Structure 1
Amino acid sequence: MSPLLPAGTALPPLPYLLAVLVGLGAVGLGLRRRRPTVTPAVAGGFAPWMATGAAGYALYQAEAVPDAVAPLFGNPTVYATTFVVAGVLWLAVADRPADAWSLTGVPGVLALAGSVCFAVLVGVGIRHALATGTVTPAGPVRALALSVVVTGSVWLTVRSRVGVTGLPGVLALFGHVLDGLSTAQGIALGFGEQTPLSAALIEAGHGLPPAAVFGEAWLFVLVKAVVATLVLFAFRGYVRDEPGEGSLFLGLVAAVGFGPGVHNLVLFTIA
């Protein structure tokens, strides 16, 4: 298995796989033909959908998903499934303003629909956890609060130089800080890191003196925050010159941090 892929990564049974591939192909073709406008706001509007996919995988791991649809919630299928749903919605509202956060604009519709889906999944997860007696929200809440504080502090420090990256930049920074700190909280709760490369980085930090003060995942958290900040510096010119493409790529950077971070929060709360 690749050191970049978490444990448990597997494709679903063939019928489910074909259905997802057909959906991806149809959405991809639709997006290619319509070429909807991408703005920083549109990129931000997809954040709740990143969270939705992450929550879906957490429910799958907690065995809170009905068997009939469970293969669609495995990793990485759940993210493809989520993209198909979000992509269909994007195509349906592509003719609306791409900068308006109201329900008359693309970002507002995407964000609201994604938030509703996320809330439903979290509700299902909490109901399952209450039934099994496994609700543990304190640790995840601490990780979330600390992530907000750290992200805000870093952003205020570098905003004068990378502020052009806007909402996608903030989301990218927050996502990777959240991934790092939620992983650290998970280790404190007894969960193991699923991605081999991340686990190796955590193990390397565990043997260094700062671990006694900041915890064994301190190096992983530091690397995530530093790399995310450097990405903002690297992308500032790109976003300035090509706001649409730059925001799109920053959104992808955000997804690979924000998704795992939200997954950690939900899983550690309900498992």
Structure 2
Amino acid sequence: MLPSGFTVPPLPALAVLLAGVVVAVAALARERPSLTDRTVLAFAPWMALGSAAYVCHQLGVLPTAVAPFASAPAVYGSTFVVAVAVWVGARRTGAPTRVLAGVGLLALSLPVALAVRYGTRDGLLAPLWPSLGLLMACFLAAVCWTGMRRLRVEDARAVGGAGALVIFGHALDAATTAVGVDALGFGEQTPLSRVIMQFAGSLPTAPVLGVGWLFIAVKLVLAVGIVLLLADYVREAPTEGYLLLAFIAAVGLGPGAHNLLLFTVASP
């Protein structure tokens, strides 16, 4: 069920990447760092970094030596290695989460700037619809999170900011995907998402509402449901629970950030 466009990097780059992943995993095993909701939030820029780097790879604006490490799925491993290295170093400072988030934001700004420069240079910069998708995601996530905090107070308190990030990440993915398909004419690459949208297209509401609304509804229901299911796990085993929440947040925030940037700088 992987999206199209996944490639294996050349053997030398793959060997370097695998070695880096092994070293990163060994470092985590040695450090055994604990996770909190603040740590998960500090990793948010890193979740978007991989997606922004992949957009630059799609646009062909990366140096030849760097490009293989930004292809999909290699970019996930590359981001993991760099993020772990920064995290290990940040833990030696007096403000580890701030350092982790700050370096992540700085790193994220580089591929974003490259992509925006490409869009500006080629006259493709079109931020209106992606911005509307972002605003829609913020609204939907706020509604879902507010409802959860009022109806499931203890669960919302347990998952904290990590749970809110999961909901926002999947709201961003859903809203930007709907905008891309219904308003901008982009195709959906993920097979399961295509099935949902094809079903929505067969409904009588399709000429009025488009096909993205059902994908938004499914994503939000799943995101909220998973967060609620993991609340007890977070209470019983915080590090493992927050690790799962971080992974689920990345699965939503990464594609959402990819859509947001790509639709802004490469409008069809």
Give TM-score, length-normalised by structure 2.
Answer: 0.94
Aligned to 2:86: 89
Q: Which runs of structure 1 show a deviation greater than 3 angstroms over 4 or more consecutive aligned residues?
A: none
Query: Is 1:170 aligned with 2:160?
Result: no
| Separation in structure 1 between the aligned mates of residue 120 and residue 97 of structure 2, nearest angstrom | 34
Shift of 1:7: 0.5
Q: 2:120 aligns with which of 130, 147, 162?
A: 130
Query: Is 1:25 aligned with 2:31?
Result: no
Describe the shift of the 1:125–1:106 C-alpha distance in structure 2 as closer, same or farther (beyond 3 A). Answer: same
Query: Is 1:269 aligned with 2:259?
Result: no
RMSD over aligned CA atoms reads 1.1
Identity %: 41
Gaps of 5+ in 2: none
Q: 1:193 aligns with which of 165, 168, 188?
A: 188
What is the identity, as a one-letter code, of the residue corresponding to 2:49?
A: T
Post-superposition Cα deviations, 1:61-89, rounded to whole Å, max 9, x if no partner, equal 12221222111111111111011111111
Verify the 8 A CA contact 1:40 1:243 in the aligned structure 2.
Answer: no
Shift of 1:93: 2.2
Shift of 1:209: 2.7
What is the identity, as a one-letter code, of the residue corresponding to 1:254?
A: A
Post-superposition Cα deviations, 1:191-218, rounded to whole Å, max 9, x if no partner, equal 1011111111111111113333432111
Aligned to 1:100: none
Verify the 8 A CA contact 1:182 1:264 in the aligned structure 2.
Answer: yes
What is the identity, as a one-letter code, of the residue corresponding to 1:118?
A: L
What is the identity, as a one-letter code, of the residue corresponding to 2:175?
A: L
Aligned to 1:9: 6
Post-superposition Cα deviations, 1:10-63, rounded to whole Å, max 9, x if no partner, equal 110000001000000001101101112211111111100011101011111122
Instruction: Give the secondary structure class of the aligned counterpart of 1:61.
Output: helix
Verify the 8 A CA contact 1:50 1:255 in the aligned structure 2.
Answer: yes
Instruction: Give the secondary structure class of the aligned counterpart of 2:259.
Output: helix
Give matches, 1:119-158, under 5 Å: 119-158=109-148
Instruction: Give the secondary structure class of the aligned counterpart of 1:159.
Output: helix
Aligned to 1:106: 96
| Separation in structure 2 between the aligned mates of residue 213 and residue 238 of structure 1, nearest angstrom | 41
What is the identity, as a one-letter code, of the residue corresponding to 1:230?
A: G
| Separation in structure 1 between the aligned mates of residue 233 and residue 189 of structure 2, nearest angstrom | 33
| Separation in structure 2 between the aligned mates of residue 210 and residue 59 of structure 1, nearest angstrom | 36
**Number of residues of Structure 1 aligned to a counterpart in Structure 2:** 261
Verify the 8 A CA contact 1:168 1:247 in the aligned structure 2.
Answer: yes
The range that moved more, 219-228 or 208-217, is: 208-217
Post-superposition Cα deviations, 1:141-161, rounded to whole Å, max 9, x if no partner, equal 100011001100111111131
Give TM-score, length-normalised by structure 1.
Answer: 0.93
Verify the 8 A CA contact 1:37 1:94 in the aligned structure 2.
Answer: no
Verify the 8 A CA contact 2:230 2:241 in the aligned structure 1.
Answer: yes
| Separation in structure 1 between the aligned mates of residue 165 and residue 209 of structure 2, nearest angstrom | 24
The range that moved more, 153-162 or 74-83, is: 153-162
Instruction: Give the secondary structure class of the aligned counterpart of 2:186.
Output: coil
| Separation in structure 2 between the aligned mates of residue 149 and residue 23 of structure 1, nearest angstrom | 39
| Separation in structure 2 between the aligned mates of residue 150 and residue 77 of structure 1, nearest angstrom | 31
Gaps of 5+ in 1: 97-103
Verify the 8 A CA contact 1:62 1:270 in the aligned structure 2.
Answer: no
